[in-house]
Amino acid sequence: MALLTVEGLVFDYPGNRALHGVSFTLEPGAITALVGPNGAGKTTLMRCLAALERPSAGRVVIEGVDLSEDPRHCHRFLGYLSDFFGVYEQLTVRRCLLYRGLSQGMTMAEAEKATLKAAERVGLSDRLDQAAGTLSRGLRQRLGIAQAILHDPRFVILDEPASGLDPEARDDLSTLLRGLRDDGMTFLVSSHILAELSDYATEMLLLSDGRLIEHRRVEDDEGEAAGTVALQITLSEPKENFGDLLQGLLAEQAGAVVRGADTLSALVRIPADQQARHALLAGLLAADCKVSEFAVREADLQSLYRERLVRERAGGSSKEVRS
């Protein structure tokens, strides 16, 4: 069963529709990167998922429970960290976490146990008696995440958690989120630092102008069949009808696809075995192509985001794509 199901979500601000019928599902164990240009509706979507905003239409279902019908019940499964969050700077890390636990209805004994567990998970065990106001930006983010996961939620929403962090702190954040996923948590994370998201995201949700443009797994380039690889082919001299040549050479290869071919380059997807690559390269050389690059291209979030958004702005389809 899907952990989260979003169906036809619409959200209207006065005079402006921020979300246009957004629908998707998230499976347990995913770390989904929520990406899109400024004003795409990312924060609005997150606030609707966290029951901080009531959508104008549509519904959100968490583990089979409709969020609008029983938000308090859903909050047991849900953790949320906003882009800008406050802490009581005079309180120690321990007291910040205890206060959070007590405010969520825990007993003191439960809050103390949860505090120790959350602090250990985020690497703050040695900072429990340090004042929150003296923490570095990176440690402050860890405290925020500790507060969001204090009640051991299965689904956690993080809005720009890497904002303002230095490279070392971003690396630490990536390691932390991967570890929490291994503990059974599912994440939806927004960020403008796509290279950082690529370190840990398993799926991508792309929003543009309040519409879901694409939902796909990051590791499966363009959602093609398993058992294939993407190859970047570049020529040192132009070759007329290069795309047609590639189509002919790959006609007998199951699952083969040619994209973006011009006279100098193309991205192709072929079966993931050496024989298929050798046959294609031999065919190109036999056709007198001056091959300067013939390399497997790993999928990364930044290139996927850029390519898909460019296609959308050029008039591409806006339907949801799943791999």
Class for the domain spanning 228-298 = alpha beta
pLDDT in tens, the chain (323 residues): 789 999 999 999 999 999 999 999 999 999 999 999 889 999 999 999 999 999 999 999 998 899 998 888 888 889 999 988 888 999 999 999 999 999 999 999 999 999 999 999 999 999 999 999 999 988 999 999 999 999 999 999 999 888 777 888 888 888 889 899 998 999 999 987 777 777 788 888 999 999 998 888 876 544 444 567 778 899 999 999 999 999 999 988 877 888 768 889 888 888 877 888 899 999 999 999 999 999 887 656 666 676 666 666 666 544 443 33
CA distance 102 to 287: 72
Asked whether this chain's domains 4-217 and 228-298 adopt the same fold, the reply is no
Retrieve residue 270's tokens. 């072929």
Return the pLDDT at 298.
61
* Structural fold of domain 4-217: Rossmann fold (3.40.50)
Return the pLDDT at 271.
83
* C-alpha dihedral, 253 to 256 to 260 to 264, nearest 10°: -30
Listed by start position, the domains of the chain span 4-217, 228-298
Element (H, E) at 34: strand 31-35
Residue 298: how many other CB atoms lie within 10 Å: 11
Return the pLDDT at 57.
97
Closest CA to 79 of 153, 185, 189, 178: 153
Burial class (CB within 10 angstroms; exposed 0-12, middle 13-18, buried 19+) of 121: buried
Return the pLDDT at 245.
95
What does pTM read for this prediction? Answer: 0.73
Return the pLDDT at 222.
45
CA distance 248 to 182: 45
Element (H, E) at 5: strand 4-13
